[in-house]
Structure 1
Amino acid sequence: MKRILFPTDFSETATNAFIHALEFAKIVQGELILLHTFELPVFDNQFFPENYMIIYESLQLSQFDMFKDEIPKLRAIAEEHHLDKIKMTHRLMDGDLIYNIKKSIKDDKIDYVVMGTEGASGWSAFFSGTNTGNVLTDINVPLLSIPIDAKFKPIKTIGFTTRFRPKDKKALKKILSVAKMADAEVKCLYVKTGNSDVTRETVKKWEKDFEDEPIEFFVITSDEVKETILDFILYKEIDLLTMLTYKRSFFEGLFHPSLTKKFANNFDVPILAIPIEE
């Protein structure tokens, strides 16, 4: 059974992502580990010599009480969406978010992480500085990130961008396994620029290798790579976009506000980021 880590701060963004996490767990026949982390403020105990520990204990207790109050709400959401059969366990951890996520990935043998982010206008921030963006570059398991405006709908079409390299093929096989469980198809895009070194023979070889799979290959000639990818997402009605995380700077540019502005009302596609070593 796949194990899915769902870090939450119980915000609206996280609650929306929770529904996606449940549905994804259903697709991959997995279970959820809900993680809430908090950082206690730093006090100089020379100013609080007598009640130093009382302060910490009261803060920890308040976090526990919030955690205890919020969990039933999440279970109610699961029941409302007829997903209450999904196994859920909970972790409350003090300390740095990234550290705790990495620790949980190791301790709980996590296969996927699902997190929320702030929607189309926040995608550039997602890749350049938010908690979700930081997690993206620090973990070694796939990360499914959910924009706040992305209402769940069945995954029928998965987008996959490639440059036809061996590492891309390895990731594509992983995506195909998810696609089959979701009864979805994969649309694979290569943007062929003026200085492209990918031959037609290479493309044909990939098509041959995957001819029995639910996948369609698209080669589009353009020097406007980022715009072409965004157009592809919209016009091919991609429900889930898959990206390889070895080129974070490229993703930062792809979701720059100057590009996402024209897609602002439409670009609410979840992204599954797969870590690939250079």
Structure 2
Amino acid sequence: MKKILVPTDFSDHAEYALKVAAQIARKNNGEIYILHMLELPHLASDGIGESNAVGTSSALPEVMFFMQKTRERFEEILSQPYLEGITVVEAIQFEKAFDGIITHSKKHDIDLIVMGSHGASGFHEMFIGSNTEKVVRTSDVPVLVIKKEEGEFNPQKFVFASDFSDEIKKPFEKAVYFANSFGVHMHLVLINTPSDFKSTHAAEKRMHDFASKFSIDNGYTSHVYNDVNVEKGILHFANSVNADLIGMSTHGRHGLSHFFNGSISEDLVNHSVRPVITFRI
């Protein structure tokens, strides 16, 4: 996790995400890319990119005004003590929030996106509605969603919920890499529901056979948890073990995995009070 992208609208929740990103960058000797989108509809086709790009529209007083204000906010952020000693690259893009985040992530080979969220009411300002769902669902790199001021971000209990089928191997590999980088103990949980029930023996065997193929430095504990649906099961189990972080996989443009049917990953991002990290299948 050498390159970390933090989209910002300069809200408190965006700063919560930046503080966590700073701790991750410091721990991994990484760098942070801070991105702010200026959504000016009449400039949508003008082709202005990052803040150092030059285009005919850059001469417009309105554009210059907003860019100057954004640079002033960037200067305030860069002066914060928690960023001292960390390489930070700031950028302004004239693009819709979701498009700008995904484009910037691919352009700079980002390893992790860290975003701030209000929770059930959705992301603040530019992170509302479909933007949240699209970034979580379609990002090729892991997305870490921060809900509140975390203080020291040093997760020790990492809950990873899944059905532990073969298609989860790729995202689980990324989850293990994240866990190993923090020395985290993983709690693997399979949620049993009335419509998709497995015996404890079968569920535990599936999890053990799955996990045995990976090197989890700080070990793991497997759990089978019964609940009325998957989302409630994950939230209730995370509460029961006092989890520091919840992880899950998403299925990208083709919908969620068989286990995370419907919009469970997006719902969890909204409803969980704990940090959530998603890994695309």
Q: TM-score, normalised by structure 1?
A: 0.79
Query: Using the alignment, how far apart are the partners of 2:73 and 2:233 within structure 1?
Result: 42
Query: Using the alignment, how far apart are the partners of 1:127 and 1:40 within structure 2?
Result: 16
Query: Using the alignment, how far apart are the partners of 2:139 and 2:12 within structure 1?
Result: 24
Q: Is the helix fraction higher in 1 or 2?
A: 1
Match of 2:66 in 1: 63
Match of 1:225 in 2: 230
1:20 aligns with 2:23: no
Match of 1:202 in 2: 206
Query: Using the alignment, how far apart are the partners of 1:204 and 1:14 within structure 2?
Result: 38
Query: Using the alignment, how far apart are the partners of 1:56 and 1:227 within structure 2?
Result: 52
Match of 1:161 in 2: 161
Distance of aligned partners of 1:256 and 1:74 in 2 relative to their CA distance in 1, 3 Å threshold: closer
Query: Using the alignment, how far apart are the partners of 1:243 and 1:207 within structure 2?
Result: 15
Task: Please provide the CA RMSD for this pair.
Answer: 3.1
What SS does the corresponding residue of 2:60 show, helix, strand or coil? helix
Q: Please say if residues 115 and 132 of structure 1, whose CA atoms lie closer than 8 Å, have aligned partners that are also in contact.
A: no
> Which moved further from structure 2: 194-203 or 226-235?
194-203
Query: Using the alignment, how far apart are the partners of 1:40 and 1:193 within structure 2?
Result: 46
Match of 1:184 in 2: 184
1:19 deviation in Å? 0.6
Question: How many residue pairs align between the two structures?
Answer: 255
Q: Which runs of 5+ in 2 are unaligned?
A: 44-55
Match of 1:109 in 2: 109
Distance of aligned partners of 1:181 and 1:203 in 2 relative to their CA distance in 1, 3 Å threshold: closer
Q: Please say if residues 246 and 274 of structure 2, whose CA atoms lie closer than 8 Å, have aligned partners that are also in contact.
A: yes
Match of 1:75 in 2: 78
Distance of aligned partners of 1:174 and 1:13 in 2 relative to their CA distance in 1, 3 Å threshold: same
Distance of aligned partners of 1:22 and 1:253 in 2 relative to their CA distance in 1, 3 Å threshold: closer
1:175 deviation in Å? 1.4
1:249 aligns with 2:271: no
Letter in 2 for 1:206: F
Letter in 2 for 1:228: G
Q: Please say if residues 225 and 237 of structure 2, whose CA atoms lie closer than 8 Å, have aligned partners that are also in contact.
A: no
Q: Which runs of 5+ in 1 are unaligned?
A: 44-52, 261-266
Distance of aligned partners of 1:217 and 1:40 in 2 relative to their CA distance in 1, 3 Å threshold: same
Distance of aligned partners of 1:170 and 1:127 in 2 relative to their CA distance in 1, 3 Å threshold: farther
Match of 2:50 in 1: none
1:208 deviation in Å? 4.1
CA deviations on 1:4-32 (whole Å, 9 max, x unpaired) are 11111111221121111112223443211
| Structure with larger Rg | 1
